[in-house]
């Protein structure tokens, strides 16, 4: 058997400890499948005294991950620190400059600096693997880069954040308000104390930017992603969606067309019988559309020590076995410009919830604003007859341009009887 692949692990949090434990537990199986053992020779973390439920005895300890990347006796550095800047980026750069392969679970780093790091790796014939950066244990990177490589990928969309999916699923199942369910998710450990990164859609946007680059052979363009979170989704929206035959999901969606790529993360209504509508709780799913294969759906756990460590170890095993591919499917210098389209170019259907005083002429004013923008109404739900109390009016609109929809909603929001800004959710059928 060939000599061991020696790896150094930067970051010994939940995932890092999970990687060390998994490599030890599955050592014989990994060696058999790779044709060589994989050995952890060095680790780096901030606190040497913390109990991590993994055996790090016999491994060299480094207080500084950058020093470890430069100096440790290793062939490969696993970066599990996180963040797009600072020590995580510096450690990956140092490893590549020192001739070490890199495996990372850092979606922010790849979304923001992926092309730069890929160029460094390719210049030295090194691997930069990042399966764990997107959708946890779902092997979507490998699927796009290898299994679907014979296809022109037309679109990719998915539930890319388990925290948001848990919140929306629980709101639907219980009828509880967003703030209440978010607090529960924090208590259960599904959401961070500061949940902004998840609930505002930033985490999903990092992952979508990576998927779009890989799927379409274009530069990574995180800045080109339109991002909206789930903070404005009310229990009433989820109830009305169910009544209309839809479910509310936070989706990341990217499509490639002649005019460029549209990348967007925002809440959507999806038909209740769509495959992605049934993905619940903390699970993730990714749906791809290829010109030869058609629709493919991959579903699984999107986070946690086990699924993420599984993806990291899979990347390590590829390198140990000598399996390498261009970072984004093609050499980085052959990636096409991103050419991202703004959300105003979207053409589709819409759900709108209005909070109004039930007075004569309210609906006439609403329909006039829609008519003037050539927006056609598909259905309306109106309940309540007390003119002194606000009531909901829920509309679904036929497919139209986003720019027209925005102008119509601006006019509707100025009507005297409309007491809150119109709440719009896009419909994806």
Give the active site residues: 207
| Number of residues that this document lists for the chain | 429
What is the reported pLDDT for 327? Answer: 93
What is the C-alpha separation between 300 and 297, in angstroms, rounded?
10
H helices of 149-291, where? Answer: 162-174, 178-188, 196-199, 202-216, 235-244
Q: By three-state DSSP, how is residue 370 classified?
A: helix
Tell me the two tokens of residue 187. 């208590």
Nearest to 42, CA basis, from 100, 3, 97: 100
Q: By three-state DSSP, how is residue 251 classified?
A: strand
Measuring CA to CA, how many Å separate 313 from each of 35, 38, 178, 222?
Answer: 15, 10, 36, 26
Asked whether the beta carbons of 71 and 35 are under 8 A apart, the reply is no
Query: Which residue reads 């796009």 in tokens?
Result: 144
Which distant-in-sequence residues (6+ apart) come within 8 Å of 356 by Cβ? 362, 390, 391, 392, 393, 415, 417, 418, 419
What is the C-alpha separation between 20 and 41, in angstroms, rounded?
10
Q: Mind listing the pLDDT tens digit for each residue in 46-55?
A: 887 787 778 8
- CATH number belonging to domain 346-427: 3.30.70.260
What is the Cα Rg of the chain in Å?
24
What is the reported pLDDT for 359? Answer: 79
Tell me the two tokens of residue 88. 């995580």
Asked whether the beta carbons of 225 and 266 are under 8 A apart, the reply is no
CATH architecture observed for domain 5-104: 3-Layer(aba) Sandwich (3.40)
Asked whether the beta carbons of 203 and 230 are under 8 A apart, the reply is no
What is the C-alpha separation between 222 and 133, in angstroms, rounded?
14
What is the reported pLDDT for 385? Answer: 66
What is the reported pLDDT for 1? Answer: 65
Residues of the chain with pLDDT below 70 are 1, 384-387
Tell me the two tokens of residue 374. 């050539």
What is the C-alpha separation between 202 and 89, in angstroms, rounded?
19
What is the reported pLDDT for 104? Answer: 97
Tell me the two tokens of residue 69. 């990347």
What is the C-alpha separation between 213 and 313, in angstroms, rounded?
23
Asked whether the beta carbons of 282 and 191 are under 8 A apart, the reply is no
Domain covering 148-300+338-343, topology = Dihydrodipicolinate Reductase; domain 2 (3.30.360)
Q: By three-state DSSP, how is residue 398 classified?
A: strand
CA 309, 199, 226, 157 dihedral sign is positive
Asked whether the beta carbons of 149 and 265 are under 8 A apart, the reply is no
Query: Which residue reads 């341009």 in tokens?
Result: 401
What is the reported pLDDT for 128? Answer: 97
Structural domain boundaries in the chain: 5-104, 148-300+338-343, 346-427
Measuring CA to CA, how many Å separate 341 from each of 112, 113, 237, 269, 346?
Answer: 18, 21, 28, 22, 9
In eight-state DSSP terms, residue 281 is T
For strands 101-104 and 76-79, give the pairing.
parallel
The model's pTM = 0.93
Q: What angle do CA 198, 217, 80 make, to 5 degrees?
A: 40
179 C-beta neighbours (distance < 10 Å), count: 9
Query: Which residue reads 């509707």 in tokens?
Result: 412
Tell me the two tokens of residue 127. 């691997």
Tell me the two tokens of residue 190. 């599904």
């Amino acid at each position: 058997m060939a000599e061991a692949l020696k790896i150094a692990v930067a970051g010994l949090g939940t995932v890092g400890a999970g990687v060390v434990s998994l490599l030890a537990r599955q050592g014989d199986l990994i060696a058999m499948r790779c044709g060589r053992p994989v050995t952890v020779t060095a680790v780096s973390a901030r606190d040497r005294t913390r109990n991590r439920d993994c055996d790090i005895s016999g491994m060299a300890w480094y207080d500084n991950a950058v020093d470890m990347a430069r100096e440790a006796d290793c062939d490969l550095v696993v970066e599990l620190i996180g963040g797009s800047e600072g020590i995580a980026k510096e450690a990956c750069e140092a490893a590549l400059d020192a001739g070490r392969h890199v495996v990372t679970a850092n979606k922010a780093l790849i979304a923001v600096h992926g092309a730069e790091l890929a160029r460094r790796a390719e210049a030295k014939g090194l691997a930069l693997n990042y399966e764990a950066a997107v959708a946890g244990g779902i092997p979507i990177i490998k699927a796009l880069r290898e299994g679907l490589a014979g296809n022109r990928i037309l679109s990719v969309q998915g539930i890319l954040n388990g925290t948001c999916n848990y919140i929306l699923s629980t709101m639907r199942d219980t009828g509880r308000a967003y703030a209440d369910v978010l607090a529960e998710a924090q208590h259960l450990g599904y959401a961070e104390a500061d949940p902004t990164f998840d609930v505002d859609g930033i985490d999903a946007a990092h992952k979508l930017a990576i998927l779009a680059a890989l799927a379409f052979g274009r530069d990574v363009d995180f800045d080109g992603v339109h991002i909206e979170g789930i903070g404005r989704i009310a229990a009433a929206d989820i109830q009305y969606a169910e009544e209309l035959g839809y479910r509310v999901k936070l989706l990341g969606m990217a499509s490639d067309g002649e005019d460029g790529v549209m990348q967007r993360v925002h809440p959507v209504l999806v038909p209740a019988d769509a495959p992605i509508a049934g993905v619940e709780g903390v699970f993730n799913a990714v749906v791809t559309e290829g010109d030869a294969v058609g629709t493919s759906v991959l579903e699984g756990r999107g986070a946690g020590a086990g699924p993420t460590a599984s993806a990291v170890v899979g990347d390590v095993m590829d390198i140990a076995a000598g399996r390498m591919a261009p970072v984004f499917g093609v050499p980085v210098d052959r990636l096409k410009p991103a050419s991202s389209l703004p959300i105003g170019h979207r053409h589709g259907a819409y759900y709108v919830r209005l909070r109004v005083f039930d007075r004569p002429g309210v609906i006439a004013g609403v329909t006039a604003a829609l008519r003037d923008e050539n927006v056609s109404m598909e259905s309306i739900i109106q309940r309540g007859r007390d003119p002194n109390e606000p009531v909901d009016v829920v509309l679904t609109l036929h497919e139209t341009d986003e720019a027209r929809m925005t102008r119509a909603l601006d006019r509707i929001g100025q009507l005297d009887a409309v007491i809150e800004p119109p709440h719009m959710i896009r419909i994806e059928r």
